[in-house]
Structure 1
C-alpha cells in the first residue's frame, strides 16, 4: 500500500513561489510581485516551466509515484515536440527517467500567433525498483512544460532531503540557460554545471525573457544565494528591444539592484555564446518560414548590419560593451567578473556542433557548455 505525502515547499528546491491551484501546486520561478508587473505571455510561460525545480526527498521507498498536470505546447507547422522528461536521481546519480503523455495542450499558430487551449487529464509517472535503504531522491520536473504537482505516493515514509551544506548558485539567462533542446531537466547546461561544481541550483533561465527586466533583478536581489551569474545578450538582440544608448544604463541598473541584496557575493557576467545569425546582424529574430515549409524549425535575423551605426545591438556589440562595463565596475566591485560566452561555445565549436535551429544548442552542446562553465566560472 502506498503512502500519500502532501507536497509542500519543504520538499521542493529551485522554485521562488508556489501557487495553489484547483489541482495542487504550481511552481513558479518568479515571485508573484514580479509576475504581476508583466503582461507578457512569453514570460508567463517561461517562468512557469520548472527548469531546475525538483522534489528532494529522503526515504527508504523503492516505489515513487507522482501525479502531475503538465501543459504541453504544440506549434503548427513545426516538428512535434517530445513529451517533457522527469529525471529521477538517487544520491545524485541519474537512475531513471519517465515521460507523461497526458495533460493540457496549447496549440500555437506560428504564422498568426494565435493560441488554442485544450484541457487534458492528470497523469502519473511511476518509478519502481529503487535501491533499498535510506537514500536521497530527487525528481527533476520537465524543464520545458508547465507542471502542476497533484500528489506524491511512496511505499515508505518520506521527509525533506537534508541540507547538504552546498553553496546556492543563482543564475539568470535566456532559453539556452532555460534548457531549450537539452535532453532532460538534469542535463541542461546549468544543471550539469551545478552538479559538477557541487552547487544547489536556482535557475532563472527564462526562454525569450532575459531582457534586463527590473522585476527579475529584484527577484534575484531578494533570493538568498552564495554565487550569482547573469547571462546577457541574445534576447536583447533577437527581440530588438533596445539600442546601445539604453543598454549600458540598463545593465548598470540590473547589477546595482542585485548588489543591493548581495553586496559581496561572487557575481559573474556572461556574454552570449557564438551564434552566427546574430554575430553582426541585428534583430529582430524571426522564424524561417521557408524551413518550416519543409518541416524544419529554424531561426533567422531580419536586421541590417548597417543599422549598428544607429545603435542597434548585435552579439559582437554586446560583448564589447559588457566587457567594458564590467572592467569599469571592478574598480569598486572586486567580486565582479566577466566571462566571454564564446569561451563556452565558440566559432570552432559551431563547426563541430552546429546549432540545429540556428539559435539553440543540442544535448551534446549543453554538456559541453556545462563542463566548460564549471571549469571557467571556478565558483
Structure 2
C-alpha cells in the first residue's frame, strides 16, 4: 500500500465544479487584484477569528512581517518566539529589523512555554510571537497576561491553526494580531501562496492595508516603506469555495487523530509518544506528530514500505546557520532540541482512510518488533 503524506486530489474532485465556476467568474470580471473575492474572504476569516479586520496578503510569511511592521516593531527591538517552528517566524522578525530571542517549548504541546518567556524579557523586548504548532494553540491566556504585565505586543502565528481554540478564544482574539497561511497544504489551502493578517486593532489593520500596497495611501503617495504583498482574486475565489468546508474537514482530522492514537497506544506505546490534546483546547491537527527516539530509522523504514512522513522541524531556529550571529549554541533549549530530534509527522488529511491508518501503524509496529 502507498500512503501519501497529503492527497488533495479527492478534495478537488468533490469541489471541482464550484472551483471552476469561481475561477471563471474572476476571469470574466477581469478584476484580479483586491476585488470582491478578497473582500469576502477577509470579512469571513475575520468573523471566524472573532476579530474585526482581515487583511489578505501574498503569503503567511509576509503576513507575519506586515503585522510586526504595522505594530511598530523595528530596529533595536527584541521579539521573543519559539525556536521550534518553520523558518518564516524568525525570518519575519529579522526582515522587520528586529532581533529574534528564543525561549524553550512546552514538550507536551510543542508550543512556546509561557514560564520560559519571562526569563528572556529585557528592556529591548517589544513583542512575543507564539506559534500555534501542528494545530493546537499555545497558552494564549497566560501569554496575554505576561504581555500586559510588560506592555508587549503579541502577534500570533496561526499558520497551522485556523479554527483552533483555547477555551472560548479563537486564534487572534487574545493577540494584538494573528497571521494565517493558506499554502496549499494547510487545513484551508489555496492553489498557490496566500496569507492573511487578522486583528481587532483598527490602527494595525489600517497600517497593514497600506504596507501591503507599497506603503501607498492614496495610490502613488507613499508615507511608509511597504512592499507588494497582495492576495489575488484567483486564490481568494478558491478559498471562498473551500472555507464553508473547513470545520467539517477539521473534525475529520480530529477523528483520524483519535484513531491513530488508539492504534498506536495499543501497539507501540512503549516506543512512541502520541500527541496530546490539552484539556480545554480545540486541536485541529494540521499535523499528527509522534515522538520516538528512533525517529530517523523509523522514517526510513516507513518510506521503504510506501508510507510518506515528514520531519517538522529537524533543526531548531537557534541552531540555523543564518542565525549564528545571535550566539546561541546546542543545549540552550533542550526541550525544543529533543522535539527536533524525535518528532515525526504521519499522513494526515481529511480524506485519509482507516485502512491507510491501519497500514501505517502496522508498519510502525513491525519496525519496532523487527528492530
**TM-score normalised to the size of structure 1?**
0.26
More helix by share: 2
Higher relative contact order (CA 8 A, sep 6+): 2
More strand by share: 1
**TM-score normalised to the size of structure 2?**
0.26
